[in-house]
């Protein structure tokens, strides 16, 4: 999954970019707690990074990322 795909999902879920430093963008949601940092531009993010971004955004990564072979 690329950083562009994750940023698109964040923006669809009403997350707003509140800043950037170097090659990372910081997103904040108006009602959800915390923030999400996305390294970009990256064509393929490591699975651990994707999982952490999904967790920070309050999403279930197993459902939205649909990785074959992993238990739900």
- The per-residue pLDDT for range 7-55, each reduced to its tens digit, is 999 999 999 999 998 899 999 999 999 999 999 887 888 888 989 999 9
Q: Using CA atoms, how far apart are residues 47 and 58, in angstroms rounded to an integer?
A: 16
Q: Please indicate, yes or no, if residue 35 is contained in any of the structural domains.
A: yes
Whole-prediction pTM value? 0.79
| Spatial separation of the C-alpha atoms in residues 46 and 66, rounded to whole Å | 15
Which ranges of 1-72 does DSSP label H, i.e. alpha helix? Answer: 3-12, 47-57, 61-65
Residue 59 lies in a domain: yes
**Residue numbers of the domain that contains 20:** 3-64
Domain for residue 69, yes or no?
Answer: no
- Residue 53 has what pLDDT? 92
**Does the residue 71 lie in any domain?**
no
How many CB atoms lie under 10 A from the CB of residue 57? 21
Q: What is the pLDDT of residue 66?
A: 55
* 29 within some domain: yes
- The CATH number of residue 48's host domain is 3.30.920.30
The count of structural domains within the chain is 1
Residue 36 covered by a domain:
yes
């Amino acid at each position: 999954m690329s950083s562009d795909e994750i940023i698109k999902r964040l923006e669809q879920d009403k997350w707003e970019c509140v800043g950037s430093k170097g090659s990372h963008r910081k997103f904040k949601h108006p009602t959800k707690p915390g923030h999400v940092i996305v390294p970009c531009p990256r064509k393929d993010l490591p699975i651990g990074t994707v999982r952490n971004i999904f967790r920070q955004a309050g999403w279930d990564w197993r459902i939205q990322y649909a990785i074959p072979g992993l238990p739900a």
